[in-house]
Amino acid sequence: MKLKNFVCLLAAGLFIALSAATLSAQETKTKILKYDAQGRVIGYQESDVENKAESESDGSASGDAETFNPDTSFEKGELIVINPPRSFSSGIRSMGYQVIETVRISGLKMVVQRLRVPPGVSVPKAIKQLRGRFPGVEIDANHQFDPSAGVEFPNKIARALIRWTGAPATCGQGVKIGMIDAGVDVTHPALKGQKVVYRSFHKAGRKEGPKDHGTAVAAIMVGTPEWGGLLPGAELRAANMFEYNEEGRKVGNAIGLLKAANWLIDEKVHIINLSVAGADNKVLRRIFEKALQQKLVLVAAGGNWGRADKPAYPAAYEGVVAVTAISDQGLIYSKANTGKYIDFAAPGVKVYTAAPGGGGRLQSGTSFATPFITALMGLEIAKGNAKTVSALDTLLKKNIKDLGLPGRDDVFGWGFARRKPEC
């Protein structure tokens, strides 16, 4: 009886404690511990109760696993195909398909066509049908991509977060960085007067997408010293791949990414920053393989879906440098993807970023961690210290702060790269 009474009393106590915790969570911010596969604490997630109103009021909040599914996010009624054979156009025409755009990627000597699917045929069915008719030809959906970001509140500018000393305006001179992202407000004080060339590759007939995400990423990389720009003296070629579709939703697709990549290759940039995430598209995979064969260095966001079972692409492609986000205390970002493809960790939690219209705000996401690694690697390439991805990896690993399990792990990759720029 005594044991039974004790159990009842303990259960009642737990119920009261849980109820109190629930009430407390409605009034203040709570911390939820996060664990690795071995059960070790690797960080924590703060509840969004206090930030809910502001997050809901901001139309740019993205990278939410509940709202973006990379496998099912693609342009309705469209496919893309790489290097179609001569008989392809006439063959698909007889099946009711239509070529609506041809993109020539001159730097890689490749051709990509955008196709319209016959009425009443779903995209998955169309892919299966054409792959069966043209075996060996790479055909896939015109997948959409997600800017890997979320809204947060004030802390520090980029240079302070990575603990670099104040930079002269010439820091990064001679470095040419490419960026495939959203639109950029080149009139923002952080970018006004900087060496930024901007082009948009949104689809004809659609409105260019918003400029908040791209403005933030661009300013982190080449913004003025006052705004904490990592390499204020560098050149930036900024390409927009995002647009508003017919339903008014912000989207970026594979064709826009390919056009942007073609421009940047022609511009002979040292490195390309991709703060976007999407599905494993077979056509894009081939394009990235070819780009890597030509020694292009690509750095991409690890993704903000909070998934271990769903890698984000292009970060997960072999040879692409994948970056995850950590706080200034070395804790992993609560929404960061994990997996064997993660290479490095960099500040990406509560980074003070430039916002269109002249102001700034705090944002979090693997998008805002990626520019740190891009800036470091771009500087090393321009200085001639290293030119290949493997050589750059080796260089960064020489001064790494291991944050997770000893050595490389699926949460932090190799860890926090502490190399500082020589400028």
Identify the burial level of 4 via C-beta atoms within 10 angstroms of its C-beta, where 0-12 means exposed, 13-18 middle and 19 or more buried: exposed
Residue 321 predicted with pLDDT over 90: yes
**Class of CATH domain 145-417:** alpha beta
Question: Residue 339: what pLDDT?
Answer: 96
* Angle, helix 282-293 to helix 254-266, in steps of 10 degrees: 10
Q: Identify the band that residue 191 occupies on the pLDDT scale cut at 50, 70 and 90.
A: very high
The answer to whether the CB of 365 falls within 8 A of the CB of 333 is yes
The most distant pair of C-alpha atoms in the chain lies apart, rounded to whole Å, by 86
Residue 155 predicted with pLDDT over 70: no
What are the residue ranges spanned by the domains of the chain?
Answer: 74-144, 145-417
Q: Identify the band that residue 246 occupies on the pLDDT scale cut at 50, 70 and 90.
A: confident
Question: Residue 57: what pLDDT?
Answer: 24
For residues 148-164, average pLDDT = 60
User: How many Å apart are CA 181 and CA 422, to the nearest integer?
Assistant: 27
Question: Residue 49: what pLDDT?
Answer: 29
Other C-beta atoms within 10 Å of 228: how many?
26
Identify the burial level of 189 via C-beta atoms within 10 angstroms of its C-beta, where 0-12 means exposed, 13-18 middle and 19 or more buried: middle
Residue 217 predicted with pLDDT over 60: yes
Q: Which residue has the higher pLDDT, 15 or 103?
A: 103
Reduced to 3 states (helix: H, G, I; strand: E, B; else coil), residue 317 is: coil
User: How many Å apart are CA 315 and CA 280, to the nearest integer?
Assistant: 10
Angle ∠(288,291,295) on CA atoms, nearest 5: 130
Strand partners, 321: 299
Question: Residue 416: what pLDDT?
Answer: 94
Strands 351-354 and 360-364: antiparallel
User: How many Å apart are CA 368 and CA 360, to the nearest integer?
Assistant: 14
Taking the model in full, what pTM does it have?
A: 0.74
Query: In CATH, what number does 74-144 get?
Result: 3.30.70.80
